[in-house]
């Protein structure tokens, strides 16, 4: 065997769901390729099999026999082989997983049965069986943060331009609607379309009008009837459909009788506006309002910077921690679990991405184990409640009594315990787990702090998403 000697390690494993003590051998051909051989003897399965056959006999309804009086030999002939296979499969599944847990095997993918060997089993005559599984393992590795290069942490400073743009957006969004006498760019124009016998009441947003055609509308008074070609005025066919409500492909000249013009005016920077945006009594002057908005902007960018730091830290770990993986096993496993959805060539082409995801999972799990990271139910519940509050928006934090908190707690509990969506709990559990791992990573990484402006940060973020 070219000097490579197969290593064989045998361990007895007690199936935790019964008193069965299985004999399992681990045969390692390389650091990352191995076989598990499970030996099953008659004493392992016969007691439970006999019990199941007796239950079948009691419940069997077969023509010519009274209930419970069907001969045991007939039940054995009709159901014996299928029940034997089922019982052994249960034993195998439990025992293999228990062996992997007890021996802390770092497997990748799933154990794959050696099909050719199993196909040779004589289920009618054999009493004892050997079942082989091919398994893939990850190579040994350590996470030594001292050997990982430093990553950058950005302190983002928002300037006057960013502050002024934000306040302009806030005042526009918080402004009240007015109804001017003439149309300006940005208005919503309400009226009635007519073409021949077809007519439709609708609204035209000025953003749906071509730049060169806006002169047809801007400055026109309420009550005017306009005549224009829809193809020459609207930016595209979708805009024509949305504005006219005609899904049959309206073309040519139409008239539009203007009946109302709506415009959102800018809100005034007064105390009522400050209270509406930030909460009653939070600030009492425009200067204080600007300072508070700037703090919020920089807080938002801080969260983005923290997210970017986590991405950079993940990349640094992946780039600097080498983990040996069983390529051939992974390709075979991916073919099997995808059940023909992908060809061998497609799997080969995507293998490096699969290995990258596996390596990151292994690194995270290693960090979690080394740091003794645990996730408790109250943490999962609190994360879910935070998600629910976000869906409620501002209402999630309002209310002088406990009614809102009680409702959110009830919704969150229902979300986590929904039997029809059992993955809800694991989704939230994994979010808490991932955040805890990220916190450990950031706390242990070497970090170089750098102060930058908003534009520079946007350039860096865009380069990562490109």
Task: Look at strands 447-453 and 151-157 and give their pairing.
Answer: parallel
pLDDT band at 264 (very low <50, low <70, confident <90, very high): confident
% of the chain surpassing 90 pLDDT: 53
pLDDT of residue 3: 38
- Which of 352-373 are b and which e, b meaning 16 or more Cβ less than 10 Å from the residue's Cβ? eebbeebbbebbbebbbeebeb
Asked if residue 353 is part of any domain, the answer here is no
The 10s digit of each residue's pLDDT in 303-335 is 888 988 998 999 999 999 999 999 999 999 999
For residue 248, the enclosing domain spans: 177-264
% of the chain surpassing 70 pLDDT: 92
Strand partners, 133: 36, 113
Q: Is residue 107 within 8 Å of 135, Cβ to Cβ?
A: yes
Q: In what order do the strands lie in the sheet with 129-137?
A: 7-14, 21-28, 33-40, 129-137, 107-113
- Same domain? 198 vs 300: no
- Same domain? 312 vs 393: yes
- How many other C-beta atoms can be found within 10 angstroms of the C-beta atom of residue 142? 8
pLDDT band at 67 (very low <50, low <70, confident <90, very high): confident
Q: At what angle do helices 327-337 and 344-370 cross, to 10 degrees?
A: 110
- Same domain? 87 vs 226: no
CATH number at residue 99: 3.30.70.1050
Q: Taking 50 as the threshold, does the pLDDT of residue 395 lie above it?
A: no
**Average pLDDT value over all residues in the chain:** 87
- Same domain? 195 vs 287: no
Asked if residue 302 is part of any domain, the answer here is yes
- Same domain? 294 vs 424: yes
Distance CA 183, CA 262 (A): 9
Contacts made by residues 297-300, CB under 8 angstroms, sequence distance 24+: 297/158, 297/162, 297/163, 297/166, 298/156, 298/157, 298/158
- Same domain? 240 vs 99: no
Asked if residue 307 is part of any domain, the answer here is yes
- Same domain? 126 vs 215: no
Contacts of 325 (CB under 8 A, 6+ apart): 32, 108, 136, 138, 139, 355, 358, 359
Cα–Cα–Cα angle for 63, 68, 73, nearest 5°?
Answer: 75
- Same domain? 421 vs 303: yes
- Same domain? 16 vs 123: yes
The 10s digit of each residue's pLDDT in 396-428 is 444 444 677 888 889 999 999 988 887 899 999
What does pTM read for this prediction? Answer: 0.67
- Same domain? 17 vs 90: yes
Q: Which of 264, 287, 309 is the last residue of a domain?
A: 264
Question: Which stretch, 16-20, 131-135, 390-394, 455-459, has highest mean pLDDT?
Answer: 131-135
- Same domain? 23 vs 97: yes
pLDDT of residue 300: 87
Asked if residue 454 is part of any domain, the answer here is yes
The 10s digit of each residue's pLDDT in 23-52 is 899 999 999 999 999 999 999 999 999 999
Mean pLDDT, range 281-285, rounded to an integer: 90
Asked if residue 380 is part of any domain, the answer here is yes
Q: Is residue 72 within 8 Å of 55, Cβ to Cβ?
A: no
Contacts made by residues 433-438, CB under 8 angstroms, sequence distance 24+: 433/368, 433/373, 433/375, 434/364, 436/368, 436/373, 436/375, 437/364, 437/367, 437/368, 437/373, 438/310, 438/313
pLDDT of residue 394: 41
Asked if residue 356 is part of any domain, the answer here is no
pLDDT of residue 466: 56
Asked if residue 439 is part of any domain, the answer here is yes
Q: Is residue 266 within 8 Å of 171, Cβ to Cβ?
A: yes
pLDDT of residue 455: 83
Q: Which of 229, 245, 264 is the last residue of a domain?
A: 264
The 10s digit of each residue's pLDDT in 2-27 is 333 333 334 444 454 555 567 899 99
Asked if residue 344 is part of any domain, the answer here is no
Q: Taken in order 291, 293, 294, 300, is the CA torsion positive or negative?
A: positive
Of 116-125, 182-191, 386-395, least confident by mean pLDDT is 386-395
The 10s digit of each residue's pLDDT in 153-205 is 988 888 888 898 888 888 887 778 889 999 999 899 999 999 999 999 989 99
pLDDT of residue 56: 86
**Chain-centre distance for alpha carbon 325:** 25
Q: Which of 241, 264, 287 is the last residue of a domain?
A: 264
Distance CA 220, CA 171 (A): 26
Distance CA 204, CA 249 (A): 17
* Number of domains the chain contains: 3
pLDDT band at 1 (very low <50, low <70, confident <90, very high): very low
- Same domain? 121 vs 101: yes
Query: Where are the extended beta strands (E) located within 93-128?
Result: 107-113
Distance CA 376, CA 17 (A): 26
pLDDT of residue 393: 56
Strand partners, 257: 192, 225
pLDDT of residue 20: 58
pLDDT of residue 150: 95
Q: Taking 90 as the threshold, does the pLDDT of residue 78 lie above it?
A: no
pLDDT band at 464 (very low <50, low <70, confident <90, very high): low
């Amino acid at each position: 065997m070219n000097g490579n000697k197969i290593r064989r390690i045998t361990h007895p494993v007690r199936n935790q769901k019964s008193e069965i003590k299985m004999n399992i051998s681990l045969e390692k051909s390389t650091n990352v390729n191995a076989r598990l051989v499970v030996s099953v003897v008659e004493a392992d399965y016969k007691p439970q099999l006999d019990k199941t056959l007796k239950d079948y006999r009691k419940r069997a309804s077969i023509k010519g026999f009274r209930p419970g009086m069907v001969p045991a030999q007939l039940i054995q002939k009709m159901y014996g082989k299928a029940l034997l296979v089922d019982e052994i499969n249960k034993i195998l599944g439990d025992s293999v997983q228990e062996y992997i847990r007890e021996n802390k095997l770092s497997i990748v993918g799933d154990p794959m049965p050696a099909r050719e060997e199993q196909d040779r089993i004589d289920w009618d005559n054999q009493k004892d069986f050997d079942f082989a599984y091919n398994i893939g393992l990850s190579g040994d590795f350590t996470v030594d943060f001292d050997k990982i290069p430093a990553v950058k942490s950005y302190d983002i400073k928002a300037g006057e331009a960013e502050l002024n743009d934000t306040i302009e957006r806030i005042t526009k969004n918080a402004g009240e609607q007015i109804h001017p006498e003439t149309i300006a760019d940005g208005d919503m124009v309400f009226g009635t379309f007519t073409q021949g016998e077809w007519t439709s009441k609708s609204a035209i947003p000025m953003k749906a009008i071509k730049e060169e055609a806006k002169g047809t509308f801007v400055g026109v008074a309420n009550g005017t009837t306009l005549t224009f070609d829809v193809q020459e005025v609207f930016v595209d066919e979708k805009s024509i459909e949305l504005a006219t409500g005609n899904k049959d492909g309206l073309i040519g000249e139409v008239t539009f009788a203007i009946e109302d013009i709506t415009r959102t005016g800018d809100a005034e920077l007064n105390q009522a506006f400050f209270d509406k945006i930030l909460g009653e009594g939070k600030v009492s002057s425009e200067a204080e309002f600007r300072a508070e908005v700037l703090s919020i902007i920089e807080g938002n960018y801080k969260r983005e910077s923290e997210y970017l730091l986590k991405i950079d830290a993940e990349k640094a770990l992946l780039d600097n921690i080498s983990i040996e993986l069983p390529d051939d096993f992974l390709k075979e496993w991916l073919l099997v679990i995808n059940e023909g959805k992908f060809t061998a060539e497609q799997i080969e082409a995507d293998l490096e991405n699969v290995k990258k995801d596996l390596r990151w999972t292994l690194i995270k799990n290693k960090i979690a184990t080394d740091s003794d990271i645990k996730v408790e139910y109250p943490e999962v519940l609190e994360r879910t409640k935070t998600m629910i509050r976000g869906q409620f928006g501002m209402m999630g934090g309002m209310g002088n009594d406990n009614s809102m908190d009680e409702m959110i707690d009830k919704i969150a509990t229902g979300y986590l315990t929904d039997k029809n969506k059992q993955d809800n709990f694991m989704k939230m559990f994994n979010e808490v787990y991932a955040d805890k791992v990220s916190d450990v990573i950031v706390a242990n990484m070497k970090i170089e702090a750098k102060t930058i402006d908003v534009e520079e940060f946007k350039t860096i973020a865009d380069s990562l998403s490109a």
